[in-house]
Every structure is written in C-alpha cells, then in structure tokens.
Structure 1
Amino acid sequence: MATLSPARIAAADILSNVRRRDARARDLLRTSAPVARLTPANRALATRLALGGVRTSGVVDALLDAHLRRGHLEPRVRDALRISAFELLWLATPAPVAISQGVELVRRVSPHGAGLANAVLHRVAGEDLPAIAHARKRVERRDCTASDIALVAALPQWLADELVVSLGTEGACRMALSAMDASGTYVAGNACLHNDAEVEHLLSAAGLMPRATCLPGCLALSSAAGLATSGLVDAVDVVPADMAAQVVAWLASPAPGTRMLEVGQGRGTKSLLLESCSLRRGGLARIAAVDSEAFKVAVSRARMERAGLDKAVTCTALDGRRLGEEGLPPELAESFDSAFVDAPCSGTGTLRRHPEIAWSLQEPAIRPAGRSLPALQLELLRAASKRVCAGGTLAYATCSELREEDEGVVEAFLACPEGSRFSLVSPRSTAAFASLPPLAQQLVTDMIGPYGMVRTSRAGTPELPLDGHFLALLVREA
C-alpha cells in the first residue's frame, strides 16, 4: 500500500469543500489551515491539483462516467478521482504514481472503492491519456479542430467553438496549449503610499521574493504563499492584480489633474491602479466611480480611505445605465475628461486564475433569451459616453476573450447615435503609452490588433503568463 502524499490529501479535501460549500477553490486554499501547514513544495502541488481538479471537472467527469461499468460514484470518491485524473492527463506525473496515489485517495474516503478506482484510473491512463496526447500534437501543429482544442484545454465544446471564432485558430491554439499553466502572481505598488524601493523592501521582508517587470510599479512574486497573511494587501501597500490588468489600467489611466468617470468600480482595484498610474505620470486625477452593488461600494470606499485616496476618488452606488439620465448626484452630473467602463463579462480571459468559470458558465449566460451580457455592456458604454466632454477619451475594457463581448460591442457602439461622435484610437498615439519605458512599449505593441484594439493574451508566453484582457480606446470629436 502506497503512502499517500499530504498535498493530494489537502487537494482532495479542498475539492470536497468546493462541492459542499459551493465555494471558490482559491478562497479555500487561501484560508485552509491544513494547506498552510504544508511545506512550500507540497503547498504548490496541492494548489495545482485543487485548481486543476476544478478547472477540468467537466471533461474529467464525462471520461470517468464513460468508464463506469454500472452504478455511480459517491461524491467523495468522484472528488478523489478528479484529482488523480487531472494529474494523469494534464501533469507530467508518471502514470503508476498518479494511479497508485489515486487509489489511496479513494481508499481514504471509501475503503471498498479502491478496486473501482484502480480499474477506472487504468482505463483513463490506457485510453484517455493517448487521446489527449494526440489532440495536443494536432493543436501544436495547428492542424486541429475545435474539438481538439476543447479536449486539450478542458473546455465545453460551445466555448471552444466561440474561442476559435473570437481568436482565430492560432489564438485559440495558443490559449489551449497554455490553459493548464500556472498563472503568474503580480502586485502593483501603491504609489500613493510608497515609492518603488519601499514596496520592494516590504515584499522582500515578507518573504515574497519580488522582482521588477518592464511595466512601472508592477512586481512579480516568486513566492506568493504569504501574500494574504502579510498584511500588505489589507493595508493597501500593494494591490494584487495580474500584469495584464495593470497594462489596461496604465493605457486607460487619466492624465494628472483631470476628471475621470469610472463605471464598474467593483471593490476598487482598478481605481487604485488608475490613480497609481496617474501619479506615476505626474500627479493624481479625480475619479468619480460607480458600481451597482452597494456592498462593493462600501468595500471600495474603505480601501480608498486606507490608501490615502478618499479625497481623490468618490464611490457611489448607482446602476451605470442611468448615467445618461437627469437628477444624478452632484459628483456625477457633469462632463468628464475621460471615462473608463470596466464592463461585467464572462471572465473567459481569467480561466487559469478562476477555474470555476469554464464549467459554471453556460452558453445562455452569454446569449440568453432577452437581455445578454453584450446588450448590458453596450448599454453601459452608451450611457457613460454621454458624460465624456468634447475631445475626451472613452475606454472600454473586459476580461473576456470572446469577440461578442469585445470587438462586437465596440462595433455596435460606433454604429449607434452616441458612438457616431467617437472614433477608435491606437494606444500607441497616447501620452500614457509615450510615458512607458521601451520594453513596456514593445509589450503593449505586441498586444495591439486591428484598429488599435488591445488583447493582452496576444503577448502571453510560457515565460510570461498573462490573463486575457481587452481594451478599446475611443476619442470624442472636439
């Protein structure tokens, strides 16, 4: 009988808690005492296995069910087999090791299930592992179908089809091949409280091993396990945000001393990034931010106070679709030099960071009968545009990889009455781009596609894993 590794035990327990509590895997990993007690190497493995088990659950469940001779799997047995099947199919763990550990994981929760686990996992190794390997080779050669992409990336077929339409075969293949890579951990230093040297010192003292990137203020963490408990995030000394999100904030950042309308503030992360970027460009801006959810507004307001930005940023609970109406609060009832619409979206650009999305997002969530996300996104963009002054800038951003939510919304906006007064502009022509160092300018240039619209995933590599964010900049005629 093999000795069961503590990392696999912790990962299986996380998956069980995800199921029972309808919770997010990352949240449970962050607060799990058993995970915290693991060695750094085991903690990294437990994290990889737990996130991978959630991320691939739809494909793995179908494969497991296909190998059952009769009956069904107990929930805890399925949790254990999800971990082992993910390890077999998408990690480089030798099959005998993954199978042996999987059998022991099942034995731990169901002693009579060990034989079933052994049989099912051997079928997965004998049949499914070669099938995925062959599909991956076709994807690498770009001689593949959307079904190959769905299998390699562990996506629902409809989503793989949408990604091929949205990104083209090349882009969808690149996404599939990197789908199981670990996401990078990045933070932005809060320039309102600290200079770069102070931020690096704080992170180093917390054992987080920061290293500078080409983007001003953006730091990659080589060891991020202690970030949540360091106190640096709660104190707003640093802001956790993927490098791609920080690129979007830099390109959309308001000029020092100007007025910006921010739509979709959430918990205030983009507000903090926008102000830090503006300060690095010469001084703070004044941001009037809105969000439709009052509890998020309360969280954001508290973060602005801790960050020293309560005088520069106002936080208001308001449905952004009302911005074109009369009778708005005074801080919103004026024209702005710029507007930033961080639209609610499918989140398909953040699958590595939020593994629940792939199998919780159903096609009707994108295109339901009646109101759809693109329709809501267009409404927000049209309303915000009415508050942009002549010659002002309107930025539209999502963390989606789907054309329907990105270029499609921009095209629909330009075709409507409000959009007729706006035109697309390339980030390369902006003062924000000009203020970047050369290496960062090259990174942004690699992200720019047709008509100047930005997809951050265009610049992603195995050495530089980036979330998929979209940005379009539009200027109102003077």
Structure 2
Amino acid sequence: MGSQSDRAQGPVVVSAAGRAPRRTGGQEHKKDGEFVAGLAARKAAARLLAAVIDARTPLDGLTDHENGHPQYKALDLRDRGLVRAILVTALRYRMTIAGLLARRLEKPLPANATALSHILHVAAAQILFLDIPDSAAVDLAVTHAKSDPRTLRFAGLVNGVLRTLARIKEAELPEALATTDEAPKWFSDRLKAAYGVDEAGRILAAHRQEAPVDFSVKADPEHWAERLGGIALPTGTIRVEKLAGPVTELPGFAEGAWWVQDAAAGLPARLLGDVGGLRVADLCAAPGGKTAQLIVAGARVTAIDTSKNRLARLAQNLERLRLSADIVQADLLQYEPDELFDAVLLDAPCSSTGTVRRHPDVPWTKTVADVEKLADLQRRLLARAVTLVKPGGRIVFSNCSLDPLEGEELYRGFLAATPGVVADPLRASEIVGIDPFLTQEGTLRTTPADLDLGSPQRSGLDGFFAARMRRAG
C-alpha cells in the first residue's frame, strides 16, 4: 500500500455518493424574507455531524431514507446525497480538517462551542475535498452561523477562518495529509500497539479511501467480472472500483446471480471446507451473505439471528437469489436446536473497526469500553456456539474487527479456557487465494492495508479475523 509518506497522494475530491455537483444545493431555506439555496442541506449536515460526534450515533441510521433523522428525510434525494457526501468526507478527514482549522484560530474554540465546530467542519470538508465552489461553502456557513443564536456572534470568525482556509489549501493540505493520523487517539493507539507504527499508518491511510464494491457470485466469476466491469480477485470475488449506476440496475441483480459482499467477509464461510450435504448453522446470520455462500456450496443451512427486522432482510435477499434456508429468530444464548449441527459459523457482533473505509463514523461512535464489552459478548456467544455442533464438528469464529481483543486474544484465551475444543488450523494452499492472510497460528487476519492491486482506490479489504476449531470427541 506504500509508506507513511504516501498518505498525501490520495484523491482530493471525495464523495460517498459520487463526485458532488458544483452547486450550492437544491433545497432552500428562508432568511430575512428570502430563500437561501443550499442552507437546509448544510444545516442538516451540521446537525447529523453533531449526532455522530457528540452523541455517538451511527451514521447509517441517521441517513436511512425511511427511519433516518427528520432533518435528513425532509431533504430531496439530491440534497440527501450531498449531505451524506459532506458527512462521510468530514469524518474520513476529521483530524486533517481539525488541524487546518486550528491553525487559522488565534485561540482554541470554547469547549461548549460544539455547534460552531460542526459548522466549520461541514464547510471545511467542502472547501478542502468536495467539488463545490469555495464561495458557496463560505457564504452558506456564515449564513448558518447567523441563523443560530449559539453561533451568531461568531459569524465574523467563520467568515475569516474559512476564507483563509480556501486561500491556503493548495499550499498546506498535502503536508497536513502526510503528517496526520485520521483517527481519534484511542483508535490510533490501539492500531499501533497491535500492528506497529508502519502498518497502522498504512491502515489509517487506507481508511481515507472510499472502498470499492465487491460481489460474491454463484458461479463463473470471470463472466461476471466482464459483465460488471470489474476484475476477479484470487479468492473468486468480483471487484468493481466504481459502479456505473444503482446496484439494483446492474446486470445479474434481477436474476439473483450475485450479492454485494466484501472480499474479506466472503472468507470465513470457506473455512468450513466442503459442506456439501452437511447441516450448517449460520449464527448471527443477517443480512445473509454468508448464508448464501453456504447454500451455494451445498449445505443445508439454518440461519439464526435475534433481530426480526434483520431476518426479514435476509429472507428478501435469499428470495432474490432464489436460495432457501431454515430461518430462525432466536437469542443465540438461549437457542436449543432439535439436533446438533455438523458445523457452525459464528460471525459475531463486534466493534466493526475493520469497516472504517465504508463506515468512517465507527472510530467516532465507539470507545475502548465498547470493544471490551463486545469481546465479552463474543466469548459467551462462542461458548454457546460450541454446544450446538456435533462432536468432531467444525466451528468457525469470525468478526470484522481490527482489534486483537476481539480476535487473536479472544481466540487464544477461549482455547485455553475451554476443555473439549481444539484448534483446527488453516493450512497453506488449503483454499485458493487465502494464503496471504494466514497467520502463524493458522488463523486468518485481513486489514484494509492488504491486497495491493496497484492503486489505493482498487486495493484493500475490510479488516477481518477468523479462526477454525473442532469440538473434541
């Protein structure tokens, strides 16, 4: 992926929903008897940024089209796309933005000036990284500040800081990108402790890139790579750097030929080996990517999840794919099957720190306490999962966390403390394409810095840990 100095070489124009249009915004907001185009979108962006940073609210929930924040849902679809692009960018580059803003201030903002901080970050994200005229970003931020009693007296400061930022960005932005860890300290410190300074730097650099889109296919990956305009990865996943349109309009969607699934997320199910004809439990199964993999591989799958809504989504996905499984809504810690399974896959709920490329809010909505709490839940779920498999049967444990507390350390501690469960290490060349991700212990570890395909935009994987065990007997 390159050295730490490569971090200044990423693209400056960034958007979660494609290149932002050169405009001030479609929705209008009334000011002094006149309507100000684009102000409602910027107010929504600042409000949602506050929800993420101050209240640790996940971004996906805030920007859900049906159940999202009311201020977001009040916008038209075009402005919703703009708001999400601003938010993703403001979070992905939060530390760089904060550093450049701080240099423009004579003294730090008051501790209670959070509303002002969010206005500045929303505007700075547009000025530094999005294809929006600087003048529009500055003017709308000043108007926004004047419209809020909490920030009215800072309108002049907003104007001066942002106009200076626009003037110096070409000179100062490259160095700022090259010397900044784009993460809160707790997250950066844990990455460095786990992976070393250099590898942590590569992971953090990868987090600045919007992730490509990966597809798992039922069959013939080379054919679908051509149809979808992508490439077939060594593991069989199809990777498309940039979609030409909505997923629902791509070839193969209607006939259920493929499903969206990160290449790393597609690996754990394969660790079970040949599952043809076996009864396999997919625990914490929704939204169903791994369930689909197991069915296509010939398993008789029982998909278990505690969430009724998530299982409804799983059922819809399987219906489109023309696949079927036994679907069970149950608390895994209380679940009692009629008979034990031949194999079990537990992709456990976790801190999701391996998915920051797709979810840049994660480091800002999680804490060390969350990691510790989730690791404890994973231990209990894994202990329960072992009881669901026949003696001699395989158990695969996985999650999308980069933190060893939820991965390597949990696995070692569980084996040491659990009689009747033994390691079942992965072997080199056992599965095509998996060797680069094998550890000395025979477990699997991927990070966003893995899988160099020649460009930052095309490379990388979600961070995943997976380990294979057997129930003795």
Q: Shorter-chain-normalised TM-score: which range?
A: 0.7 to 0.9
* Aligned residue number for residue 450 of structure 1: 440
Could you tell me how far 1:378 is from its partner in structure 2? 0.9
Structure 1 Cα separation of the partners of residues 284 and 207 of structure 2: 27
Asked whether the 8 Å contact 1:80–1:102 carries over to 2, the reply is: no
SS in 2 for 1:410: helix
Q: Which of 336, 345, 354 matches 1:340?
A: 345
* Aligned residue number for residue 52 of structure 1: 89
Scaled by the length of structure 2, the TM-score of the pair is 0.73
Structure 2 Cα separation of the partners of residues 168 and 271 of structure 1: 35
* Aligned residue number for residue 475 of structure 1: 470
For the structure 1 residues 127 and 385, does the alpha-carbon distance in structure 2 shift closer, same or farther, using more than 3 Å as the test?
Answer: farther
Asked whether the 8 Å contact 2:350–2:406 carries over to 1, the reply is: yes
Q: What's the % identity of the aligned pairs?
A: 23
For the structure 1 residues 271 and 358, does the alpha-carbon distance in structure 2 shift closer, same or farther, using more than 3 Å as the test?
Answer: same
SS in 2 for 1:223: coil
Matches within 5 A, 1:3-152: 12=42, 15-16=45-46, 18-19=48-49, 24=59, 28=63, 48-57=85-94, 60=97, 67=105, 75=115, 78-86=117-125, 91=129, 100-110=135-145, 115-121=156-162, 137=178, 151-152=180-181
* Aligned residue number for residue 414 of structure 2: 413
SS in 1 for 2:264: helix
SS in 1 for 2:396: strand
SS in 1 for 2:266: helix
Indicate yes or no: 2:284 matched with 1:293: no
* Aligned residue number for residue 161 of structure 1: 189
For the structure 1 residues 219 and 132, does the alpha-carbon distance in structure 2 shift closer, same or farther, using more than 3 Å as the test?
Answer: closer
Q: Could you give the per-residue CA deviations for residues 331-389 of structure 1, whole angstroms, max 9, x where no partner exists?
A: x232322211101100000012012211111222123xxxx211111111111112223
Could you tell me how far 1:229 is from its partner in structure 2? 5.8
* Aligned residue number for residue 148 of structure 1: none
Structure 1 Cα separation of the partners of residues 409 and 274 of structure 2: 25
Task: Tell me which amino acid in the other structure corresponds to 2:208.
Answer: M
Structure 1 Cα separation of the partners of residues 311 and 360 of structure 2: 26
* Aligned residue number for residue 141 of structure 1: none
Could you tell me how far 1:306 is from its partner in structure 2? 3.6
SS in 2 for 1:81: helix
Indicate yes or no: 2:311 matched with 1:321: no
SS in 1 for 2:410: helix
Structure 1 Cα separation of the partners of residues 341 and 59 of structure 2: 38
Q: Could you give the per-residue CA deviations for residues 243-287 of structure 1, whole angstroms, max 9, x where no partner exists?
A: 2212333334652111212111122222123333x1xxxxx2111
Asked whether the 8 Å contact 2:206–2:357 carries over to 1, the reply is: no
* Aligned residue number for residue 275 of structure 1: 295
* Aligned residue number for residue 216 of structure 2: 188
* Aligned residue number for residue 397 of structure 2: 396
Matches within 5 A, 1:421-436: 421-428=421-428, 430=430, 433=431, 436=432
For the structure 1 residues 270 and 378, does the alpha-carbon distance in structure 2 shift closer, same or farther, using more than 3 Å as the test?
Answer: same
Structure 2 Cα separation of the partners of residues 26 and 258 of structure 1: 37
Could you tell me how far 1:212 is from its partner in structure 2? 3.2
For the structure 1 residues 65 and 232, does the alpha-carbon distance in structure 2 shift closer, same or farther, using more than 3 Å as the test?
Answer: farther
For the structure 1 residues 232 and 65, does the alpha-carbon distance in structure 2 shift closer, same or farther, using more than 3 Å as the test?
Answer: farther
Could you tell me how far 1:35 is from its partner in structure 2? 8.2
Structure 1 Cα separation of the partners of residues 238 and 375 of structure 2: 31
Structure 2 Cα separation of the partners of residues 136 and 57 of structure 1: 11
Q: 1 or 2 for the larger relative contact order (CA 8 Å, sep ≥6)?
A: 2
Structure 2 Cα separation of the partners of residues 60 and 377 of structure 1: 36
* Aligned residue number for residue 386 of structure 1: 387
Asked whether the 8 Å contact 2:278–2:299 carries over to 1, the reply is: yes
Gaps (5+ residues) in structure 2?
A: 1-21, 27-36, 52-56, 67-72, 147-151
* Aligned residue number for residue 305 of structure 1: 319
Q: Could you give the per-residue CA deviations for residues 213-249 of structure 1, whole angstroms, max 9, x where no partner exists?
A: 3332534253254225669668744311112212333
SS in 1 for 2:247: coil
Structure 2 Cα separation of the partners of residues 290 and 212 of structure 1: 31
Q: Which of 465, 473, 476 matches 2:460?
A: 465
Asked whether the 8 Å contact 2:45–2:83 carries over to 1, the reply is: no
Asked whether the 8 Å contact 2:281–2:302 carries over to 1, the reply is: yes
Q: Could you give the per-residue CA deviations for residues 42-98 of structure 1, whole angstroms, max 9, x where no partner exists?
A: x7x8765431213455775687589367777684x6544213434667x599xxx98
Structure 1 Cα separation of the partners of residues 47 and 257 of structure 2: 32
Structure 2 Cα separation of the partners of residues 475 and 69 of structure 1: 56
Gaps (5+ residues) in structure 1?
A: 139-150, 279-283
SS in 2 for 1:246: coil
Structure 2 Cα separation of the partners of residues 363 and 400 of structure 1: 12
Scaled by the length of structure 1, the TM-score of the pair is 0.72
For the structure 1 residues 127 and 388, does the alpha-carbon distance in structure 2 shift closer, same or farther, using more than 3 Å as the test?
Answer: farther
Structure 2 Cα separation of the partners of residues 120 and 232 of structure 1: 50
For the structure 1 residues 20 and 374, does the alpha-carbon distance in structure 2 shift closer, same or farther, using more than 3 Å as the test?
Answer: closer
Task: Tell me which amino acid in the other structure corresponds to 1:167.
Answer: Y
SS in 1 for 2:202: helix
Matches within 5 A, 1:226-237: 226-228=246-248, 236-237=256-257
Indicate yes or no: 2:201 matched with 1:173: yes
Question: What is the CA RMSD across the aligned residues, in angstroms?
Answer: 4.1
For the structure 1 residues 293 and 262, does the alpha-carbon distance in structure 2 shift closer, same or farther, using more than 3 Å as the test?
Answer: same
Asked whether the 8 Å contact 1:293–1:317 carries over to 2, the reply is: yes
Could you tell me how far 1:14 is from its partner in structure 2? 5.9
For the structure 1 residues 176 and 103, does the alpha-carbon distance in structure 2 shift closer, same or farther, using more than 3 Å as the test?
Answer: same
For the structure 1 residues 236 and 173, does the alpha-carbon distance in structure 2 shift closer, same or farther, using more than 3 Å as the test?
Answer: same
SS in 1 for 2:265: helix
SS in 2 for 1:52: helix
SS in 2 for 1:315: strand
Could you tell me how far 1:319 is from its partner in structure 2? 1.8
Could you tell me how far 1:399 is from its partner in structure 2? 0.4
Asked whether the 8 Å contact 1:393–1:475 carries over to 2, the reply is: yes
For the structure 1 residues 345 and 333, does the alpha-carbon distance in structure 2 shift closer, same or farther, using more than 3 Å as the test?
Answer: same
For the structure 1 residues 359 and 74, does the alpha-carbon distance in structure 2 shift closer, same or farther, using more than 3 Å as the test?
Answer: closer
Structure 1 Cα separation of the partners of residues 414 and 232 of structure 2: 38
